[in-house]
Structure 1
Amino acid sequence: MIARALWKRKNAKGISDSMLVTAIVIMGLILLLVFSSQKASLHFLLAVTILYTYGVVDQSVILGNIINPSVITLLLLMLSSLALERTFLLSWISSKLLRYSYRWTLVRLAIISALSSAVINNTAVVATLMSSVLKNQDHSPSKLLIPLSYFSILGGTLTLIGTSTNLVVNGLIQEQGLPELHFFSFVPVGAVLFIFCSVVIFLLAYYLPDSKGKEAIVEKYFLDAEVKAGSKLVGKTVRQNRLRALDSLFLAEIVRDGRLLSPVTPEMVIEANDKLIFTGNVSEVKQLNTLDGIEIFADSNELLNRNLTEVIVSPESILINKTLKQTDFRSRFDAAVVAINRHGQSLSGKLGEQVIEAGDKLVLAIGEDFSKRQNITRNFFILTGLKLREPLTFAQNIVAIVGFFSAVFIAACTSFDLIETLSAYLIMCLGVKVFDATTLRRRFPFELWGILVSALTIAYAFTHSGLADAISSQLFSILGGSSVFIAFAGVFLVTVLLTETMTNSAAAAIMLPIGLSFAKTYGVHYLPFVMAVAYAASASFISPFGYQTNLMVMNAGNYKFSDYVKTGWPVTVMYCFVGLLSIPVFFPF
């Protein structure tokens, strides 16, 4: 508080210092989001703390953003999607997805994933449809999973609630005292983008890598076992112990006294306390139990006799950049890691000493309390093997499905807003026990809430410090007022670039004030610039780490980073070209 008072006294002469602080904070935030491995929410919180300390924003601004209608609407939508996840709706949709013809399968995939993502959380949509894609026998999963992610991203641009970006932009313009956007405001441009980009995706899908799908993926799993003292394997060679004769498991390395022995030769003698590093089909791991004196990493926790569960490490997981031993994995999650798969890469060393990365696929042997832990959904995307609750009854399914779409329809066609209708829907779901209060508390998106509130606060500082107007005026003088379209295109393209390198919420928060300032400087309508930011902030096709659905399918499809670049840049070019031409048509200057 003393520093804040001194800063206010020092800056009584004008707002230039506030502009400087805001500029430094925003540049620092961009650098942290791009280069730091820490959680994005921590970077946003640090930025807001600095702005508050130096008096650029005050308590009323932060508290107002905490209860911003668009933020509350997004949180209610996230919680409402929990009910739909438990119904038969997504499973039924998934069953209608695949056909023998690859072409018609792509068409169905595009329509189903896009329409579902327009009203349902696209993470849940992709997770459900991905399961069917991986199990199909007609088409390679790698030919379908990137298109699935892209179609879901495009589907989110169709409605106000289709993506968090649209709701954030809506909240930002409301903060400026401008009219809010309507539910169907995004449909015209979103539909055009979907059609043209889908054509590109259809053409490129045939050139995606043709892996063997799930079988190819399991061959890359990484697991280890320790030779205990007294084992009958000790003193005998690899050949004598038949370690090269295991079904679907290959002895790749041996770790001995901290040294890595590779490649493993048939005549290499096994010693006590050796770590045997295998790659192969994780479902065959119990073969190792038939070997005398062998202890598997997960079996040391007495969990291997339980069902195995596959998960993907979330980008927000606390495990990232830490080893399994450092995280105390067993006590934290009541589970043990049996194997790791990392985008098809070959791993080396001990399982417990592997540094976890976002997108790693883990096979877990889970304990009885695994499903009750409140930190599961924040650290992992659950793929298979986990049953948290009993299936909903037919009546509960009807209430959850009909209730949700009724809430959206009523909000779109009457004077009631989504906050009112979704609140009533959640209360109804609690009443008929679709889920309970514990589930809502455990799955509440606190980190997303913090990011959105911080993004709105940063946008406020950007605008009210005068920085946005100063930047737009400077750019206007450089452009010479030659063309408003050049300024419009610049806002769109820079937003696309920022979205690929940081969160879409940050890109929208930084670029919307500049867009609004451009509209004021050129004396044109603000909506073309608003829509430029909204659509551009959803354009994440080139980087697998730019959007969580891209990351989810990366490991499941055994993709490389280059696969996204090769497929994503033509989609991005088409997206930008169509967006720049169509937005001014539906939202003229």
Structure 2
Amino acid sequence: MPLDAYLTLIIFALTVTGLIVIQGRPVAVFGATLVALIACDLVTKEQFLTSIANPGLVTLILLVLCSLALEKTRLLRVVASKIIVSSYHSTWFRLFGVTTLFSSILNNTAVVATLLSPIRNNPHHFSSKLLLPLSYASILGGTLTLIGTSTNLIVNSMYIEASGRSLSFFSFTAIGAILVVSCGVVMYFCTNMLPSIEQKKATSEGYFIDAKVTKNSELIGRSVEANGLRHLESLFLVEIVREGHLISPVSPSEVIHCSDRLIFCGEITKLLQLGQFTGLEIFAEKNGTLNSNLTEVVVRQESIIVGKTLKTTGFRALFDAAVVAIRRDGEQVSGKLGDVVIRSGDFLVLAVGKDYKTRTNINKNFLVLSGVEPESRINGWRAWLSIGGFISIIVLAAFGILDLLEGLVLLLGGLLFTHSLTTNELVRRFPVDIWLVVSSAILLSNALVNSGVVGTLGDFIGQYNDPSYVYVALIFVYIATWLMTEFVTNNAAAALMFPIGYTIALGFGVDVLPFVMTVAFAASGSFISPYGYQTNLMVFNAGNYRLNDFVKMGLPVSVVYAVVVLVCIPVFFPFK
């Protein structure tokens, strides 16, 4: 083999080794791979530009960005509030069905992130009995469609690069449906293996936020549970102040009254979730400053507001700012925000007005820490536009009426034009890691072809092209991809194993689709390790699981998953 071939093989081997040794940093590994390929002149400039503008990759990026608008709506949170009921079996089936359905068209990481809080805060069942099934259901749901998981779209990106054709929207559906049913049955009968771990009670750590229930509120006359106030992300309802009396802790069955002051504790960046509830008013919102820049400050010892309440200081007039939330290290803040006596060292989040920066008394009273950017929410017609537009584009693309890439470009333009998404949000949430991993993997595949490694491997396999070996090779590709998924990550496994599976198919002289689909399904088959798939890692920490919990439930699911894939692939995608 020529020198280029040896260099390419060394880079490929170092990439795999790096992914295994430096777990959790695939972006750094693939970034180094990309630089090495260009530095060694193993790919052309045209191939580099083509890899970063691959149609399948661009479609994946646009899909991630457009789905951000759906995350800002109440859709998943409303659904989440209806899932959990007193019956465990009913809850399990609802959770499994809803999760698989939404994961087939939405980013499954976003689906799991939305459902985490309702499950952790539910009053009926141990969250550890539901969180692992949640993750597994999201993985299975992702196998139903082309856009169900980034793994499928990554494989499609590389398939487009290699063959010039794209997989269809429903290429995965038949086998995916069989996987959902068969693995779902196994999961249901294995739920008794899950531990019963008492969820830690919510602490008073974080900012305290005071919101008033106004007379036109949709919350009035309904319980905390029915209103979905226990299903918020990183915000917990710790107290209710009613007619001068304090209700704490707050029961899920507590009915909300007009003029109640609801005291939440949690992450200030999740503040704007409260805007989804009609008639729930935050002080800064009432004064028209909530949508301004938020700033975090610490009260100085010499501040004139120390020892006084916010109500008596004339805070807005003094600083042209409204206090949105307060945090006091080492002690719980209680009661209405306006009645809290301010101490030196208190952390405040301020919604600032236009004259805030010109006030000369800011630095005398506060130590300014930083700006805070809350995660915004959308409702009303913008929410309907986001949900309806996304579903319409997916349906039209699924039936071949509209090209998915073109439809997503139009949708993203509409979301920006209507301010359902902002350019700042797109920049902040842009999936640079996915872009770098996939484009680097495509470039590595080009290098394998350019250097002659693919041709040499194909010639070698061609010497043993007995048809009886084809299925053995398919099993090898599945096991290799699955092992890499469990030990590295699903996206990296798909990106690295695609060129190998594709080359093996060419060497045997058979259709490449059975091997392409095997790589895609195997890369999504992460059930034993909490580190191979992001949703597994999310529930691993949230549910206080141990590695043994994943092995006990994940092993039988993995076996059934593998059997279904290896039996069904040759049926739905024949070798010839």
TM exceeds 0.5? yes
Q: 1:107 to 1:541 in 2, by over 3 A?
A: same
Q: 1:92 to 1:23 in 2, by over 3 A?
A: same
- Secondary structure of 2:83's partner? coil
Contact 2:104 2:147 in 1 (8 A): yes
Aligned to 2:476: 490
Contact 1:69 1:419 in 2 (8 A): yes
Aligned to 1:249: none
> How many Å separate the matches in 2 of 1:151 and 1:103?
15
> How many Å separate the matches in 1 of 2:58 and 2:329?
40
Contact 1:57 1:457 in 2 (8 A): yes
1:516 aligns with 2:492: no
Aligned to 1:308: 266
Aligned to 2:178: 192
> How many Å separate the matches in 1 of 2:384 and 2:264?
34
Q: 1:508 to 1:336 in 2, by over 3 A?
A: farther
> How many Å separate the matches in 2 of 1:105 and 1:38?
33
1:167 aligns with 2:169: no
- Secondary structure of 1:99's partner? coil
Q: 1:479 to 1:140 in 2, by over 3 A?
A: farther
Aligned to 1:575: 561
Query: Which amino acid is 2:267 matched to?
Result: T
Aligned to 1:435: 421
Q: 1:79 to 1:542 in 2, by over 3 A?
A: same
Match of 2:188 among 202, 206, 222: 202
Q: 1:202 to 1:20 in 2, by over 3 A?
A: same
Contact 1:462 1:510 in 2 (8 A): no
Deviation for aligned residue 1:184: 0.8
Contact 1:307 1:366 in 2 (8 A): no
Contact 1:404 1:425 in 2 (8 A): yes
1:17 aligns with 2:3: yes
> How many Å separate the matches in 2 of 1:366 and 1:555?
29
User: For structure 2, which runs of at least 5 residues remain unmatched after alignment?
Assistant: 206-235, 240-262, 271-295, 299-325, 331-346, 352-371
> How many Å separate the matches in 1 of 2:19 and 2:297?
30
1:408 aligns with 2:366: no
Q: 1:467 to 1:338 in 2, by over 3 A?
A: farther
> How many Å separate the matches in 1 of 2:530 and 2:455?
34
> How many Å separate the matches in 1 of 2:171 and 2:467?
29
Please give the per-residue CA displacement for 1:197-244, whole angstroms capped at 9, x wherever unaligned.
1111111222101011233x869x9xxxxxxxxxxxxxxxxxxxxxxx
- Secondary structure of 1:162's partner? coil
Contact 1:160 1:186 in 2 (8 A): yes
Residues 525-536 of structure 1: matches in 2 within 5 Å?
525-536=511-522
Aligned to 1:46: 32
Residues 519-558 of structure 1: matches in 2 within 5 Å?
519-558=505-544
| Aligned-residue identity in percent | 40
> How many Å separate the matches in 1 of 2:45 and 2:105?
34
> How many Å separate the matches in 2 of 1:460 and 1:330?
52
Contact 1:197 1:575 in 2 (8 A): yes
- Secondary structure of 2:267's partner? strand
Query: Which amino acid is 2:505 matched to?
Result: A
Deviation for aligned residue 1:551: 1.0
Query: Which amino acid is 2:394 matched to?
Result: V
Deviation for aligned residue 1:459: 2.0
Deviation for aligned residue 1:191: 0.7
- Secondary structure of 1:434's partner? coil
> How many Å separate the matches in 2 of 1:449 and 1:177?
20
- Secondary structure of 2:410's partner? helix
Aligned to 1:95: 81
Contact 2:488 2:531 in 1 (8 A): no
Please give the per-residue CA displacement for 1:296-345, whole angstroms capped at 9, x wherever unaligned.
xxxxxxxxx99532999xxxxxxxxxxxxxxxx999xxx99979xxxxxx
1:36 aligns with 2:22: yes
Deviation for aligned residue 1:470: 3.1
Aligned to 1:320: none
Residues 113-512 of structure 1: matches in 2 within 5 Å?
113-215=99-201, 307-309=265-267, 367=349, 388=374, 391-471=377-457, 473-474=459-460, 477=463, 482-512=468-498
TM-score by length of 1: 0.69
> How many Å separate the matches in 2 of 1:462 and 1:387?
45
> How many Å separate the matches in 2 of 1:95 and 1:210?
22
Over aligned residues, Cα RMSD in angstroms? Answer: 3.3
Deviation for aligned residue 1:413: 2.0
Q: 1:338 to 1:186 in 2, by over 3 A?
A: farther
Contact 1:156 1:162 in 2 (8 A): yes
Contact 1:528 1:587 in 2 (8 A): yes
> How many Å separate the matches in 1 of 2:30 and 2:452?
21
Deviation for aligned residue 1:539: 1.1
